[in-house]
Amino acid sequence: MVRRLRLAAARHLFVRYLVAEHLERVWLDPTGFGAQLSADEINLRKYWYIVAAGGGSLFKEGAGTWLTRKEVHAFLNPLGSLSFEQVIWQSIARSYATDSDLAMWIARSRIAQTQRTELGFWHEAVRFFSAHPVTIEEIDDLCDFIADAYRRDRRFSLKGRALASLNRQMRAWHRDLEAIAPIEAARARAQ
């Protein structure tokens, strides 16, 4: 009841134009539907709601830090019901992919769990997956490998890579992990 009243008050105070559901959710559950959002993140989402609902330029009021104008437009007009983070990634994917299903797959993949501070690198990953369409499961598998490769070497890039070679590297990485697992388990038992 309190949540609905909070949303009704926000609509009454700020709305000149209707906004998408993902922007309204901050009024329904400021904690982020189970996610641990910082006070700064909650305030940012409320501010974006107020700007968008008031008819202001979300691009000029901060979203331009992370998204292009085309991506901001897609962010304000998402396809389907997605979380705030998923809509950000769907917006980025829609700027590269012509297939809306592919944009949804990318938005629902592990890429959506990425910190906004890592947006630059993962922007490149979205571009790669838009050019090399695969299933959500394959995206998630490749994302695990890509994240580890990027963690180990900040110069790691997907530019100029082919899907087949990336899959080979990922399989080799999985074999290495499988070989290391028994060693790590033995080390843990010894301690």
Kindly state the average pLDDT of the residues 156-169: 94
Q: CA-to-CA distance for 87 and 143, rounded, in angstroms?
A: 18
The string of pLDDT tens digits covering residues 13-38 is 898 999 999 999 888 876 655 567 88
pLDDT band, residue 127 (cuts 50/70/90): very high
Res 95 pLDDT > 60: yes
Res 153 pLDDT > 90: yes
Q: CA-to-CA distance for 104 and 114, rounded, in angstroms?
A: 16
**Domain boundary assignment for the chain:** 1-56, 67-190
Instruction: Please indicate whether residue 141 or residue 189 has the higher confidence score (pLDDT).
Output: 141
Kindly state the average pLDDT of the residues 71-92: 94
Q: What is the pLDDT of residue 33?
A: 56
Q: What is the pLDDT of residue 146?
A: 95
Exposed/middle/buried for residue 168 (C-beta within 10 Å: 0-12, 13-18, 19+):
exposed
